[in-house]
Amino acid sequence: MTNSNFIIPVKANSVNATPYEWSGTNYKQIPFLQIFGKGSGALYSCADDMAKFVMFMINNGDAEIEQMEIPESTPAARSGLKTGYGKGIKVDFLNYKFPFMDTMEQV
């Protein structure tokens, strides 16, 4: 995956898609909008690299990728810390009730 990254570098020969929007009569190029914290984990990639990643997952990959699928906890989480950062394909709150939810229910 040579064209995938978490921060968009400026590349003269970039393979990243160029964003366009319809202006009513034609398409015009628009600035790239970097979105943080979405489901992709802010991974930017091209179709070719994503296809390589999918094939890697289908073929069971190697130990490093398999570790992304193993549930893991930290000493802080085991001690009761309810917030933090995830590492993996899917991260849930697992019935965690946000502190502000009690206030919202009263409204």
Tens of pLDDT along 3-61? 777 666 556 556 667 788 898 999 999 887 666 555 555 677 788 888 887 887 777 76
For tokens 């009513």, what's the residue? 24
For residues 90 and 70, the answer to whether their CB atoms sit within 8 Å is no
Summarised one tens digit per residue, pLDDT across range 58-107 is 777 654 555 555 556 667 777 777 666 655 544 445 555 545 445 444 44
User: What pLDDT does residue 84 have?
Assistant: 62
Residues linked to residue 20 through DSSP beta bridges, in sequence order: 29
User: What is the reported pLDDT for 27?
Assistant: 94
pLDDT in the model for residue 28: 92
The answer for residues whose C-beta is within 8 angstroms of residue 2's C-beta and 6 or more apart is 49
For the chain, what are the domain ranges?
A: 20-106
- Does this model's pTM top 0.75? My answer is no
Question: If we measure between CA atoms, which residue out of 41, 49, 44 comes closest to residue 18?
Answer: 44
Say which DSSP state 95 is in. T
Q: To 5 degrees, how large is the angle CA 42–CA 93–CA 86?
A: 40
- The token pair at 10 is 């400026």
Question: Other C-beta atoms within 10 Å of 86: how many?
Answer: 10
> Please, which residues have CB within 8 angstroms of residue 41's CB and are 6 or more apart in sequence?
6
